[in-house]
Structure 1
Amino acid sequence: MDSVKPADKPLGMRVNGKQWHAPKKAFRPGGGLTAYSQRAKERVAMAAMKTKEKEMKEEKEAERQRRITLIKEGKAKKEEKERYEKIAEKMHKKRVERLKRKEKRNKLLSS
């Protein structure tokens, strides 16, 4: 026998003459409802995904902050070095070294 599916057979002309509209299906208010167990599984899966996303975002932010601190520390060291070089132009080398040691002691006491 010929197996013809209902979707394959032509529907013919529509009564209202609007053939360009897609044919509508019956309204089923409970059609999209799912079982509680299925919804619970989906919720668990969603929670796991959210925690993984949060963890990944935190790792990315931590890496970003680490890079920022490295850059800031490098800039601070460079500025400090330039400052001591400027001082060294005016003062004696040994006096600059004494000044460095004194400032390091003061930094350690204040922090």
Structure 2
Amino acid sequence: MPDSVPRASTLTTPGLRKNGKQWHAQKSAFRPTSGQTSYEKRLAGRKAMTSMKAKEKEMKDEKEDERQRRIQAIKDKRAAKEEKERYEKMAEKMHAKRVERLRRREKRNKLLKS
């Protein structure tokens, strides 16, 4: 009749600590081989990490390209505005047909340089 004997529960509450520091967390036993993983698991983890890093890099590159495109659009717009203002100033002093001739000539020179 061993079943009729009451057994102590396996979940025992720890008593008071010997050093009196009950507010500290209880430490578990030191098991040096517990954190080791198999080679296949490590390989799978590395593969997942490299694919994640590649995706992150791709996303960052897309974001940077978009940013550079916006910056270039702003620069182009400013340059066009400055050129327009310059031609308007020239038109105040000169005849309109001469300004148009100069504009076409500058445009040709610009195309030849680049």
- The two structures have a TM-score, normalised by structure 2, of 0.88
Change (3 A) 1:18 1:90: same
Aligned position for 1:96: 99
More displaced 10-residue stretch of structure 1: 96-105 or 11-20: 11-20
CA deviations over 1:49-105 (Å, ceiling 9, x no partner) = 000000000000000011011001000000000000000000001110111111111
Aligned position for 1:80: 83
Identify the match of residue 57 of structure 1 among 56, 60, 70.
60
Return the alpha-carbon distance in structure 2 between the equivalents of residues 65 and 4 of structure 1.
67
**Structure number with higher relative contact order (C-alpha < 8 Å, ≥ 6 residues apart):** 2
Return the alpha-carbon distance in structure 1 between the equivalents of residues 73 and 60 of structure 2.
20
After TM superposition, give the deviation of residue 31 of structure 1 in Å.
1.1
Letter aligned with residue 80 of structure 2: K
Unaligned 5+ segments in structure 2 are 1-5
Letter aligned with residue 17 of structure 1: G
Change (3 A) 1:101 1:3: farther
CA deviations over 1:2-36 (Å, ceiling 9, x no partner) = 89452xx2222223332222221111111111111
Letter aligned with residue 44 of structure 1: K
Unaligned 5+ segments in structure 1 are none
Aligned position for 2:3: none
RMSD (Å) for aligned C-alpha atoms:
1.8
Question: Is the counterpart of residue 19 in structure 1 residue 25 in structure 2?
Answer: no
Question: Is the counterpart of residue 42 in structure 1 residue 41 in structure 2?
Answer: no
Calculate percent identity across the aligned residue pairs.
Answer: 64
